[in-house]
Amino acid sequence: MRLSRYFLPILKETPKEAEIVSHRLMLRAGMIRQQAAGIYSFLPLGKRVLDKVCDIVREEQNRSGAIELLMPTIQSADLWRESGRYEDYGKEMLRIEDRHGRDLLFGPTNEEMVTDIFRSSVRSYKDLPLNLYHLQWKFRDEVRPRFGVMRSREFLMKDAYSFDLDFESARASYDRMFVAYLRTFERCGLKAIPMRADTGPIGGDLSHEFIILAATGESEVFCHRDYLGLPVPGADVDFSDPTALRAIVDTWTTPYAATDEMHETAVWDALPEDERLAARGIEVGHIFHFGTKYSAPMNAVVTGPDGKDVPVHMGSYGIGPSRLLAAIIEASHDENGIIWPKSVAPFDVGLINMKPGDADCDRVCDELYAQLEAAGVEVLYDDQETRAGAKFATMDLIGLPLQLIVGPRGAKSGEAEIKDRATGERETLPIAAVLDRVL
């Protein structure tokens, strides 16, 4: 992509309304634009990162055996009356009336709708286990939308729903999602810690929030330092082996970790001081086993091996990809801007032409651009006639992992400079060696 033909509305001034660094940087880097309180457009650069995050989420959901579908944003209130949540949900739900006077709502979550899909076509335990997920915009009329896409009213969610015959099998579904989540966050360059979370009125101990430690996080969290060094399972993890998955979940739930609602001071106080990590955290994912809470009132039953109908055991599993963008920036930036982990960077390389119009510079840049693109490297090519300082500042701000700098002298002598955004290290190398260095 040539910068001269791209849409990258960089802000020079630091926006006053933004209280936290990720919000400031997303606005300055031209990633998002607020359209109404807590409602954002994702501008091209933001959209590219959002897509990369969604690709990772999708790959790991698919790997674990979940199946993608797409449910609508608008739901019928009648379904929510069946589960009893229409009245209970309160003011966070955006209620809508259509021209015929029918009650609709903009979905804040999809348990009811997916249960309806399930009950309309699944009859036998032989079709289980089943896990259906989608990536869809949600709306929650948050009392205090803030921090940009970190807590917005309209936000993207990956929500998955598992259906099983009994608790044991539902537990295995839970473990699969747990492991998929560990991998998803690690691939986004984040250290997410699963913490025991409140299951509310449903009870049981099967709920975990995945938390990123960050000073700007809204939750107060308490965990053992061991979490910082625990290994995340590789891509070869066997999702068809429940025993292996349980062992991973056990490893990741044994050291102490809880959000403040679930915090047990007695257990905490018994830990040696230097093993404790009390911090602030950002909730990026939440998984939940809730059994027959929706299947029983909504009559989502299957015929079991004994010929009797039983309500299915369900769980739900959410990740907020739009919030993740902000969380990644909170975890990875410096005073000059964003530092994208390679896996989610909007482009792999920023190619800087220091003197557009100079025949050598243009030729070398055009060649490098074509060569890198042909090799599958995503390049943002700054071919604009701006000051050197402004070019460097923009590249640092938008945080691409590598910068490739071509000036008139180097172009003449066949050399380019490469800068690693994360370390700041610069290296001069022959143009012929650039491709190998980048790949």
Residues that bind Mg ion (CB under 5 A): 283, 286
> Is residue 161 close enough to count as binding ligand ATP by CB under 6 A?
no
Q: Compare residues 21 and 301 and give the one whose CB is closer to ligand ATP.
A: 21
Nearer to ligand ATP, 319 or 351 (CB): 319
Q: Please name the residue ranges forming H helices in 300-345.
A: 321-331
- Kindly compute the dihedral angle of the four CA atoms of residues 120, 121, 127, 133, in this order, to the nearest 10 degrees: -70
Which residue lies nearer to ligand ATP by CB, 21 or 324? Answer: 324
Question: Using CB distances below 5 to 8 A depending on partner kind, what does residue 85 bind out of Mg ion, ligand ATP, none?
Answer: none
55 is a site residue for ligand ATP (CB under 6 A): no
327 or 354, CB closer to ligand ATP? 327
Tokens of 124: 């036998």
Strands across the sheet containing 94-97: 74-76, 103-106, 94-97
Among 284, 331, 379, 411, binds ligand ATP (CB under 6 A): 284
The greatest distance separating any two alpha carbons of the chain, rounded to the nearest whole angstrom, comes to 81
105, 157, 214, 438: residue in contact with ligand ATP (rule CB under 6 A): 157
CB of 199 to Mg ion, least distance (A): 11
Closest among 24, 26, 20 to 346, alpha carbons compared: 26
Helical segments of 84-145, H only: 85-88, 111-121
Please give the distance of CA 177 from its chain centroid, rounded to a whole number. 15
Identify which of residues 140 and 333 has a Cβ nearer to ligand ATP in the complex.
140
Least distance in angstroms from the C-beta of 176 to ligand ATP: 18
Phi, psi of 416 (to 5 degrees): -135, 165
174 in contact with ligand ATP (CB under 6 A):
no
Residues 179-198 touching ligand ATP, rule: CB under 6 A, are none
Please report whether residue 141 would count as binding ligand ATP according to CB under 6 A.
no
Beta strands in 165-308 (DSSP E): 192-196, 207-213, 219-224, 257-259, 276-291, 301-303
> Please, which residues have CB within 8 angstroms of residue 269's CB and are 6 or more apart in sequence?
none
As a whole number of angstroms, the distance between CA 195 and CA 7 comes to 40
Helix axes 321-331, 21-28, angle to 10 degrees: 100
Site for ligand ATP contains 22 (CB under 6 A): no
User: Which residues, 319 to 338, sit near ligand ATP by CB under 6 A?
Assistant: 319-320, 322-323
Stretch of residues binding ligand ATP (CB under 6 A), selected from 47-55, 300-308, 318-326, 347-355 = 318-326
Q: Which residues bind ligand ATP (CB under 6 A)?
A: 140, 142, 151-152, 155, 157, 283-286, 318-320, 322-323
